A and B are shown apart, each in its own frame.
Chain A
Amino acid sequence: IAGITQAPTSQILAAGRRMTLRCTQDMRHNAMYWYRQDLGLGLRLIHYSNTAGTTGKGEVPDGYSVSRANTDDFPLTLASAVPSQTSVYFCASSRGPSSYNEQFFGPGTRLTVL
């Protein structure tokens, strides 16, 4: 692995189902993030983690949860998916505070909730 990976690449999900999007980085970055990208709205931050064991809410956290059990992994869970969560989801990481460091992005997960 080189960089940041996401799985699955795409998924079609029935409303009400539970879904976990996976994100793994091998750069030993302290900070990780989840964004969603919707047409016309740009990227919006869902949740973030400054370091392993800590998480925080972003701009649009409702309906999503995250965990950061170790440095490398930052899964995003939709407990009960709704159609408005149809989007492209990007995971990102940075060595340190996002204010002062570039973020590295994964290739994205395209999620469709029917």
Chain B
Amino acid sequence: SQQGEEDPQALSIQEGENATMNCSYKTSINNLQWYRQNSGRGLVHLILIRSNEREKHSGRLRVTLDTSKKSSSLLITASRAADTASYFCATDRYSGGGADGLTFGKGTHLIIQP
């Protein structure tokens, strides 16, 4: 079963606007990761936020984590047409951590209108 669930399922905005996507998860985590997938391609890692971090930045990306609400958000500022993609959050399969893979949400499909 999915650990993370993204919201909204789809988002369409104008180029230059900010895009916010949310992720909720069910059990305690060690870390939470965000990935991007362009149509027909493999996933690309964007950012990892640890459970003891509340906010993390990488370029135009800003990720927040609220472990009390079991939720995370991904903000893309000053969006560009090239940001059009699906975005997934991913968490540990088990709270104990380890190398036994991640559980992905179903993703948010972001469309940037020129």
- Majority DSSP secondary structure for residues of B touching A: loop
- Interface residues of B toward A: which range? 20 to 34
B97–A97 CB distance below 8 A: yes
B104 interfacial contact with A, CB 8 Å: yes
On chain A, the number of residues with a Cβ less than 8 Å from chain B's Cβ atoms is 31
B93–A45 CB distance below 8 A: yes
- Majority DSSP secondary structure for residues of A touching B: loop
Known contacts A45-B101, A98-B100; A40/B93 CB under 8 A: no
By a beta-carbon cutoff of 8 Å, the part of chain A in contact with chain B is 30-31, 33, 35, 40-45, 48, 50-51, 56, 58-59, 90, 92, 94, 96-100, 102-108
By a beta-carbon cutoff of 8 Å, the part of chain B in contact with chain A is 1-2, 30-31, 33, 35, 40-45, 48, 88, 92-93, 97-107
**A-B pairs, 9 with minimum CB distance:** A105-B42, A102-B45, A99-B97, A97-B99, A42-B106, A45-B101, A43-B104, A31-B99, A50-B99
